[in-house]
Amino acid sequence: MTRGNGEPAPDTTRWSDPTGPVVAVVVLTAEPPPAHRSVEATRIGGRPLLDRTVRVLHAAGVRRVLVAAGRRSPDLVAGLVARHAPPAEPCPPPAALPPGRYLLVGAGAIFDAETVRDLAERTGVRCTDTTLAVADAGTAREVLAADAPDAALDAVAGLALRPAAGFATTLAGDRDVRRVHRALWHRYGSKPSDGLVCRYLNRPLSRPVTLLLARTGVWPDLLSGLSFAVAVAGAAVIGFGGHWWTMLLGGVLVQAGNALDGVDGEVARIGLRTSRRGALLDTILDRYADLAIIAGLVLAAGGRPVDWAFGFAAAAGSLLVSYLNVLVPDAPRRLLRRDVRLLLCAVAAAVSAPLAGLAALAVLVNADAARVFGMVLRRAPGTR
């Protein structure tokens, strides 16, 4: 059975099961004064908070998301929920809520799917870090029937407190957006696979850029192109500059591209815009940038056969390390990650020692690739 617009009709057959799937009810704030924006319209990571909330709930496996507007106009609620690609629907009157389990979500709540999945495993609990609670239908009716449902949700008692399993906080208003973005960056900015250079140099450099751009909603693919352009510009300045100060400028640009390479991923994770297409684009552009930087160092060194030999060895080893990283993601940690390789190239250019940089990169990256490749072969099944 489908709606008139071709979408599947809501499945109400399991609403009455008190142990069945939880139904999320997003409780909007009281209608704001004309001069102020409502909390749910505030943009977090370039998305309206209500849109972000619906997406996270669906990512956590919540099949039904209802939006309760209190005394707001039904047309306003219909307009809010109609804009969501993950489906949401207006909440029925409180008295019409059937028995079941309800995840009550405050309009200012910001959380991740891990916290939702953890809370949804039980009833009668509330997250200690934000206005998230799992309650029975009676409690849900009391909250939704109040004159200010958001305030009633904040004051609901009798629920066991439970710490957030993942990320959870509450947006207090427009002036609180900066704090929330900083908290999201600390949660999603870095990755467990970050190397030393990335963790202690590149991430601190990319952090202010990410916090500035995350609020604009800029598409991460554009940022991938920007970091690529900066790195290639550095390679061109190194290869064709011909002066010590152009070498220094090129090294600075290469390191700037190295730091900016993390901005696209940070913005994507904060704004819930990660995708396989974006990851593929970033990977391809990184390989082209690596080759351009090595070619720039070769030209800066004079372009002699020995320069090209070291350049070829450095390029081959860099590509092999990147290939092993994708082919065997659980391989032992490699020392010569891209952040280290680009920093080495940037330093070699800045001190006007392109050939020494190429030689060091060629030796180190191939030795590291051989080390990892040997470990992988020893662990691989087959005849010895």
Mean pLDDT over each residue of the chain, to the nearest integer: 84
Regarding predicted confidence, which is higher, 326 or 200? 200
Q: What structural domains and CATH numbers belong to the chain? A: 23-178 (3.90.550.10), 193-379 (1.20.120.1760)
Q: What is the mean pLDDT of residues 92-114?
A: 89
Alpha-carbon dihedral sign for residues 183, 188, 193, 197 = negative
pLDDT digits (tens, 9 = 90+) for 145-166: 887 777 778 788 788 888 998 8
User: Could you say which of 51, 112, 264, 286 is catalytic?
Assistant: 286
251 phi/psi in degrees, rounded to 5:
-65, -40
The yes-or-no verdict on residue 36 having pLDDT over 60 is no
Regarding predicted confidence, which is higher, 69 or 170? 170
Beta strand 125-127 with 132-136 is antiparallel
Answer for the pair 368, 335: CB distance below 8 angstroms, yes or no.
Answer: yes
Collapse the DSSP code of 40 into the 3-class scheme (helix H, G, I; strand E, B; otherwise coil) and give the result.
helix
Beta bridge partners of 89: 66
What's residue 225's pLDDT? 95
Q: What is the mean pLDDT of residues 272-278?
A: 90
What's residue 251's pLDDT? 96
pLDDT band with cut points at 50, 70 and 90 for residue 47: confident
Q: What is the mean pLDDT of residues 67-86?
A: 64
The residue type at 155: A
Highest mean pLDDT among 69-73, 132-136, 227-231, 271-275: 227-231
Q: Rounded CA gap, 161 and 156, in Å?
A: 12
The yes-or-no verdict on residue 14 having pLDDT over 50 is no
The yes-or-no verdict on residue 331 having pLDDT over 70 is no
Determine whether 286 is an active site residue: yes
Answer for the pair 137, 100: CB distance below 8 angstroms, yes or no.
Answer: yes
Answer for the pair 231, 255: CB distance below 8 angstroms, yes or no.
Answer: no
